[in-house]
């Protein structure tokens, strides 16, 4: 069903954002407590890496298939990234 597929795709995109912002939020909370320079550097790096990872994974999801609708509905003449490459990207970001 096309509606279920579209909704599932939207949920996956939102879940990525929610997960990344939870980690960023915890890092920002710990930044307020941390006093050691090394610890603060690690936390700032974590925030930067999470932000970059979120942007990269969002881009990967959006360019996975052309047109995007091909991710949840049968579309003639679709162009999708091979499944093996998608699994590699998913493994890197997990």
pLDDT digits (tens, 9 = 90+) for 44-55: 999 999 999 999
Span 60-82, pLDDT tens digits: 888 999 999 998 899 999 999 99
Reported pTM: 0.78
Alpha carbon dihedral 64, 67, 72, 74, in 10-degree steps, equals -120
Tokens of 41: 């550097």
Vertex 22, ends 9 and 13: CA angle to 5°?
10
1 pLDDT tier (thresholds 50, 70, 90): confident
Residues forming a β-bridge with 80: 65
Span 8-38, pLDDT tens digits: 989 988 998 999 999 999 999 999 999 999 9
**pLDDT of res. 87:** 87
């Amino acid at each position: 069903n096309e509606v279920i597929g579209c909704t599932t795709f939207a949920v996956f995109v939102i879940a990525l954002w929610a997960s990344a912002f939870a980690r960023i939020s915890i890092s920002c909370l710990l930044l307020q407590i941390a006093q050691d320079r090394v610890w603060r550097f690690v936390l700032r790096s974590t925030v930067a890496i999470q932000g970059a990872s979120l942007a990269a994974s969002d881009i990967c999801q959006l360019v996975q298939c052309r047109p995007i609708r091909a991710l949840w509905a049968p579309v003639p003449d679709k162009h999708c990234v091979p499944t093996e490459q998608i699994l590699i990207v998913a493994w890197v970001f997990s």
